[in-house]
Amino acid sequence: MPGKRIFASAQDVEAAFYEALEKADIELMMTIWSEDDEIVCVHPGGSRLVGYPPIREAWRRIFDTGRRLQVHLAPVTAVSTPFSTVHSLIVQVSISGTSDVSAPLAVTNVYVRGAMGWRMVVHHASAVPPEALSTETAPKILH
Amino acid sequence: MPGKRIFASAQDVEAAFYEALEKADIELMMTIWSEDDEIVCVHPGGSRLVGYPPIREAWRRIFDTGRRLQVHLAPVTAVSTPFSTVHSLIVQVSISGTSDVSAPLAVTNVYVRGAMGWRMVVHHASAVPPEALSTETAPKILH
């Protein structure tokens, strides 16, 4: 089950999410998710995963490949209400130590504020055409 | 700009969204969107569109093909807060009068409640593997 770490903002959750992705840290990754039964994760080209166990299993398999990923984020658009925030990002993922870069991804991240602070409830990522990047501000390195 | 129609719930907005899609009704389609500058629409395989003018233009082009689409929705998972609701659906689109059926789509729809009632702020659709359907409850026809 998720740990007891409290996130004070959606931005804090998002930073921890991408830190976990880059470090292939499954415990940190699962800390950021809401305990809601209906959390949803869609990886690029993958199925829709609903609930904690399948989402954990999919991240474990990604991290077990041993490839270390580096994430480049283009600036975020956000729509917020008092208890929720939606971020829309353009993301590029590269494999550390190689010149391999993924197609740009459109990402929708949804965060909800509950008794345990802010947590992620939806991560939806899908490949978009390469020209998507040219219409966005140049990506920046996360860390 | 969006019309003055008021939607009393996220479900009402979603029903109008898919009704507009099936009827190729651009005015109804644009009525359901929030007036927020940062509304986001990602069509399957398409770029991320931000803001009312590019979102309208993309729907206009889809509707102008003259193909009438029929939408089959699998049951929705939802996470709600007082001013927002996120729906995650598996959707199949077919072309009326043909046996053409799209790959299943994972869809994230985000709705926000504002002074003008409920409106859509994010529609993110992407193709998922056909086996995604077998892990879901059988799809049902919307209308």
The rounded distance, in Å, linking the Cα atoms of A90 and A75 is 7
Query: Please, what sign has the CA dihedral across residues A76, A78, A82, A84?
Result: negative
Query: pLDDT value at position A142?
Result: 41
Query: pLDDT value at position A138?
Result: 38
pLDDT in tens, A70-95: 999 988 899 999 999 999 999 999 98
Residue A1 in domain: no
Query: pLDDT value at position A29?
Result: 97
Q: Count of domains in chain B?
A: 1
143 residues of chain B, pLDDT tens digit each: 545 689 999 999 999 999 999 999 999 999 999 999 999 999 999 989 999 999 999 999 999 999 899 999 988 899 999 999 999 999 999 988 888 888 899 999 999 999 889 999 999 999 998 876 655 443 434 43
**Domain around A65:** 10-141
Distances in Å between the alpha carbon of A128 and those of A107, B29, B39? Answer: 10, 23, 17
Q: What is the CATH number of the domain that holds B84?
A: 3.10.450.50
Residue B77 in domain: yes
> What are the residue ranges in chain A where pLDDT is below 50?
2, 136-143
Instruction: Identify from A57, A109, A122, A123 which residue to disrupt to test chain B contact, counting B C-beta atoms within 10 A and taking the largest count.
Output: A122
Interface of B with A in 17-76 (CB under 8 A): 34, 36, 38-40, 42, 44-48, 50
Q: Is this complex's ipTM strictly greater than 0.95?
A: no
Residue B5 in domain: no
Residue A121 in domain: yes
Residue B78 in domain: yes
B96 half-sphere exposure, CB direction, 13 A CA radius: 12
Residue A5 in domain: no
Residue B93 in domain: yes
Query: pLDDT value at position B103?
Result: 83
- Partners of A58 on chain B (C-beta within 8 Å) are none
Chain A residue with CA closest to B79: the answer is A38
Residue A2 in domain: no
Please indicate whether, in this complex, the C-beta atoms of B79 and A129 are within 8 angstroms of each other. Answer: no
| Minimal C-alpha gap between B62 and chain A (Å) | 17
